[in-house]
Amino acid sequence: MLDSVKKRGMKVNVRKTKLMVFARSESTTECGILIEGQKVEKVKDFVYQDSLFTNDGKHDRDIERRHKGGAEYDPYCDPDNPIKVEYEEVLAASRRMAGAVVRTPCPLSHLSEKLNMDLYMKQEFLQYTGSFKERGVRNTMLLLDDLQRRKGVVAASTGNHAQAMSYHTTDMGIPCAVVMPETSPITKISKCERYGAKTILHGQTLAEAKRFAMSLANEKGMIYVNGYDHPHVVAGQGTAGIEIVQDVPDVDAVLIPIGGGSLVCGVAIAVKHLKPDAEIYGLGTEKCHSMMDAVKQKERIFLTIDCSLADGLAVNKVGVNTFFSIMCGGLVDKMVQVKEEWVARAIMHIVESERIVVEGSAAVGVAAIMAGLLPNLKGKKVVTILTGGNIDTTILSRALERGMAAEGRLVKFKVTVTDRPGGMAELCSRLADIGVCIKDCIPERAWVKADVFSVQMKVLCETKGWDHTNKLVDTIKRHYKEYTFTENIQDKSSKRGPCLARNPVCMRK
Ligand SMILES: Cc1ncc(COP(=O)(O)O)c(C=O)c1O
């Protein structure tokens, strides 16, 4: 029977218990499934469920795209036929990719003691382009056939996916176009160009860039690679999960940031297979919570997101396949949203204790623990994935300042002192006496209510934390009549930062 099928120019593919037979011509597609030698079922059933991970079946989704029509239709992410990636695909990806991406370490964090748990940090920022996104991209590129490799690939992204695509396609000699909104930062555009991709600026938003990228792919016969939903991307990201269980075999919980959902799905598939009792926590922020909303409403809803410190998680609508996989159950045990201010504080603590710079999206695991959102993890073995290190230097410095302010370590106040010789010097020496470091000090003479022999000093200083800040407040109150502290410092009993985030509830002093 197989011979007769082959003679008719059809391709044959045997997978598990199913024998799949399909044929193609330029204009038409005839497909079918023979199950245990029986007659054929419909095309779509096997095209979507079985042929994806087989070499021979790759083109069927492209053919299907022509059938379904529409430039915005992505055959790999079809809402009518979502795909759940299996552990075998993740394992195969891990073997396939060996040596092509960094096998990142997962050491015990210095923060463990402070946070009352054995906290391990999977250091994905050590990938060449600075994020885990390389895993999914490399796996997807390795699964392209010769024709697809010659025609090339398209992505729409301004972030880590774009960089990973640019680098790995160049490495493999695959033409790659990355479409970005016209408003994209020059640094991001030039990074992709430096890695070797052709960058195309189109539209004002990522949604517009994506639409253009998909129509370009359609027109040129290139493959559009969705960075958070393509099943090969999901399988590639999952390889990090295999490594986590290898390095921390008795892991109790894994904390995973969620944007479109590829990382959480891939890693959960691997971890739940290898260590079924390990818990998976999906993390978003108060601004980036598309997956949480989608799961709650049982529908992939569109979330409007303005600027977020965790910009890698700023996905308006989660993936078709990732949403489906999570809704099937058994992958993610709990999802939490953390305030952005805690993300800034987490970045600061990671810099200070680990000497590591991570981007906001990568810090959400530590942020959630610090914010006291995961009290049940006390005393447990926990892995958090430091997913990327691509943070702008200006954003980093702002995050560090916000973090310090939120912890009462950066204090701003105004105080009126005498403008006679020695008045300012006296203020400085009073601050020096209690070990407070002045970062900035500006005298204001024109717009002050006090007499003309007074000057208002606007002071920004650094302290060791809330207790030290309280000492500073007491010193100023004792020696001066007119002073104003920023709201958070005045309200010292509540120990709130400007972001209204409380002190870390589960951190030891
Ligand atoms: C640094 C970082 N962490 C986490 C994520 C979220 O990954 P996913 O979209 O697969 O959920 C991203 C996505 O781009 C990212 O760049």
Looking at the fold, whether 395 and 470 belong to one and the same domain comes out as no
CA of 54 to the centre of ligand 1 (A): 27
Listed in sequence order, the residues at least 6 apart from 430 whose beta carbon sits closer than 8 Å to its beta carbon are 475, 479
Asked if residue 162 is part of any domain, the answer here is no
Mutating to test ligand 1, I would choose from 85, 133, 385, 386 the residue with most ligand atoms within 8 A of its C-beta, which is 133
The predicted model gives 360-385 an average pLDDT of 98
Q: Is the CB of 312 under 6 A from ligand 1?
A: yes
Kindly report the backbone phi and psi dihedral angles of residue 112, in degrees, each rounded to the nearest multiple of 5, phi listed first: -50, -50
Looking at the fold, whether 440 and 320 belong to one and the same domain comes out as no
Instruction: Indicate which residue's Cα is closest to atom 12 of ligand 1.
Output: 312
Provide the pLDDT confidence category of residue 414 given band limits of 50, 70 and 90. Answer: very high
CATH number of the domain that residue 439 is part of: 3.30.70.260
Mutating to test ligand 1, I would choose from 290, 387, 391, 396 the residue with most ligand atoms within 8 A of its C-beta, which is 387
295-309 pLDDT, tens digit per residue, is: 999 999 999 988 899
The predicted model gives 129-143 an average pLDDT of 98
Looking at the fold, whether 283 and 393 belong to one and the same domain comes out as yes
CA of 339 to the centre of ligand 1 (A): 17
pLDDT of residue 68: 59
Asked if residue 17 is part of any domain, the answer here is yes
Lowest mean pLDDT among 10-14, 231-235, 318-322, 398-402: 10-14
Could you give the CA distance from residue 257 to residue 388 in angstroms, rounded to a whole number? 11
CA of 315 to the centre of ligand 1 (A): 9
Q: What angle do CA 310, 358, 506 make, to 5 degrees?
A: 80
Per-residue pLDDT at 421 exceeds 50: yes
Asked if residue 23 is part of any domain, the answer here is yes
pLDDT of residue 43: 29
Q: Is the CB of 224 under 6 A from ligand 1?
A: no
pTM over 0.85: no
Mutating to test ligand 1, I would choose from 229, 313, 315 the residue with most ligand atoms within 8 A of its C-beta, which is 313
Provide the pLDDT confidence category of residue 162 given band limits of 50, 70 and 90. Answer: very high
Asked if residue 139 is part of any domain, the answer here is no
Mutating to test ligand 1, I would choose from 121, 135, 160, 343 the residue with most ligand atoms within 8 A of its C-beta, which is 160
Closest CA to 333 of 431, 253, 225: 253
Q: Which domain holds residue 330?
A: 105-128+239-403
Helices 87-97, 262-274: axis angle to 10 degrees equals 100
Q: Out of 360, 379, 403, pick the residue that ends a domain.
A: 403
192-205 pLDDT, tens digit per residue, is: 999 999 999 999 88
50 touches 15 (CB < 8 A)? yes
Atom number in ligand 1 closest to CA 261: 11
CA of 396 to the centre of ligand 1 (A): 18
Asked if residue 28 is part of any domain, the answer here is yes
Instruction: Indicate which residue's Cα is closest to atom 16 of ligand 1.
Output: 312
302 touches 355 (CB < 8 A)? no
Provide the pLDDT confidence category of residue 488 given band limits of 50, 70 and 90. Answer: low
Task: Give me the number of domains the chain comprises.
Answer: 3
10-20 pLDDT, tens digit per residue, is: 443 433 333 33
Strand order in the sheet with 11-15: 11-15, 18-24, 29-35
Q: Is the CB of 228 under 6 A from ligand 1?
A: yes
Average pLDDT for the chain: 85
pLDDT of residue 490: 60
Asked if residue 450 is part of any domain, the answer here is yes
237 touches 135 (CB < 8 A)? yes
Looking at the fold, whether 418 and 295 belong to one and the same domain comes out as no
Residue 388, both tokens: 């990327």
Asked if residue 214 is part of any domain, the answer here is no
Closest CA to 338 of 308, 379, 318, 294: 308
Per-residue pLDDT at 24 exceeds 70: no
